[in-house]
Amino acid sequence: MFTILENFDLQADHDALVLGVFQNESLQEDVVTLNETVNGQIENIKRAKGELEKMYTLGQVKASVIYIIGLGEKKEYSTEVLREKMALLGKQIRTDKVTKLGVLLNSFAASDSVESIDAAVLVGEGLALGLYEVDHYKEKTNEVDVAIENVTIYGKDIEALMEAVHTGYTYGMGTNRARKLVNIPGNLMTPTDLAEEAIELAKQHGFEYEILERADMEELGMGALLAVAAGSDQPPKMIVLTYKGNEQSDELIGFVGKGLTFDSGGISIKPRENMHEMKMDMGGAAAVLGAMDIIGTLKPKTNVLAVIPSSENLLNGSALKPGDVIRSLSGKTIEVRNTDAEGRLILADGVTYAKQLGVTSLIDVATLTGAVIIALGNCTTGAITNNEALMEDVLEASAETGEWIWRLPNYAPYKNLLRSSDVADLNNAPGRPAGSITAGLFIGEFAEDTPWVHLDIAGTAWQSKPSNLGPLGGTGAMARTLAQVVINKEEE
């Protein structure tokens, strides 16, 4: 799909060319040549300061269209700006059905904050994010979608740029895989369907895999996951994928993703408004599978274990009830004060099982609490940890991927709230105050001494209106960050 060429050719066979321009700055060398050929029209359009302007060349060059992307002031330019601009471009070329695109890379790297390699990564990643569309189930038409066939990038150091753009595109497509899973309706994405998606991914990349069925969970004593699943006719699944990138290493990074394929709240039922969006409650599982897709493609020399406890949270005559006491795989007992605090229950068994399988560190990711949206809104993921070094690894990775994370406190008074049950070791819902913190720390009770970070993506996994980075629906949040943690480990 990608081609790298050093020298820009005005008559190369492209449907469209794309270039970036800064406010109050001179045009980059290749852009100067192109501007002269089109009689100074790029300079004229540059003054319009639009986010993306489209100019028709009227036969003056081979490409029929030039996309001119406004990059703003150089001093404010960053990788985050470029990622969003490239995603915007992806949306535009999808609309215009462009099949062959030329990119004047140096026009996007004319800043100390964004070098050519960075720009190449973001061209690949941003285009992938922008090209994504949500599948729909409307009556089919005779319209045939036109997919982009080739992107030619003009820049120096061909080998390094090819690796960079491939890496970026892989990150974007892994995110899109997570988005796709989140956006599938609940009746078409049951725990069984999610397990089948994981198996398909495992076969694609050569991962080892294991799917635990209800009988396996009963034999092992996964009482927390089984209790949540009791309210649904759909059988639960415990999904395990193993990537072995370094047989000589004892280090095994564990990802645990919440795979609640639909969440009604159970007996503690949610309000009817927007309940249809609760198909997204497996966003943590989707992020883990998206990250594993990236890892399977790039093949870092690191070992990774992915564990996904999956069920539905519905209500029938067998459903979990407020006041019930259940015994988790770890042996700890839990008083269920709120059946809508079910994610932490299935994650308790997921985290314990990952530990039994030998992980040396753990990152769990889950659409866990509405409280995190109140605290941080929809643009930042909340985090809690028991290990400073692992937290720093995750924060470094999130800074590289542009997925914002904010650390929440883990002080003793919050932990004490979890022990407020008179009849069990833990209370799954000790009240509204510090709800995101106590929910995360509940999972930490099962991580125990294993280095652990919890990521609450309830606010970031879903967007209720389109943005430049993607359409309404699943965002694939944290897929890139999880993968980046692993990639960075390889480089240590």
Determine the Cα–Cα distance for residues 381 and 367; give it in Å rounded to an integer: 10
344 is a catalytic site residue: yes
Cβ atoms within 10 Å, residue 115 = 13
Determine the Cα–Cα distance for residues 173 and 246; give it in Å rounded to an integer: 24
Show the tokens assigned to 383.
């985090």
Angle, helices 79-96/116-131, rounded to nearest 10 degrees? 40
Pairing of strands 333-335, 237-244: unpaired
180 is a catalytic site residue: no
Of 270, 301, 327, 415, which residue is the catalytic one? 270
* DSSP E strands, 155-236: 208-212
For residue 488, what is the enclosing H or E element?
helix 479-491
Determine the Cα–Cα distance for residues 214 and 228; give it in Å rounded to an integer: 12
For residue 181, what is the enclosing H or E element?
helix 158-183
| Cβ pair 66, 20 in contact under 8 A | no
Of 344, 355, 480, 489, which residue is the catalytic one? 344
Binding residue per annotation — 118?
A: no
Pairing of strands 473-474, 208-212: unpaired
Binding residue per annotation — 115?
A: no
- The length of the chain, given as a count of residues: 492
Binding residue per annotation — 263?
A: yes
Binding residue per annotation — 281?
A: yes
Burial class (CB in 10 A: 0-12, 13-18, 19+), 96: middle
Residue with tokens 């070329």: 93
Residues that are catalytic: 270, 344
Q: Residues within the annotated binding site?
A: 258, 263, 281, 340, 342
Binding-site residues for Mn(2+) sit at 258, 263, 281, 340, 342
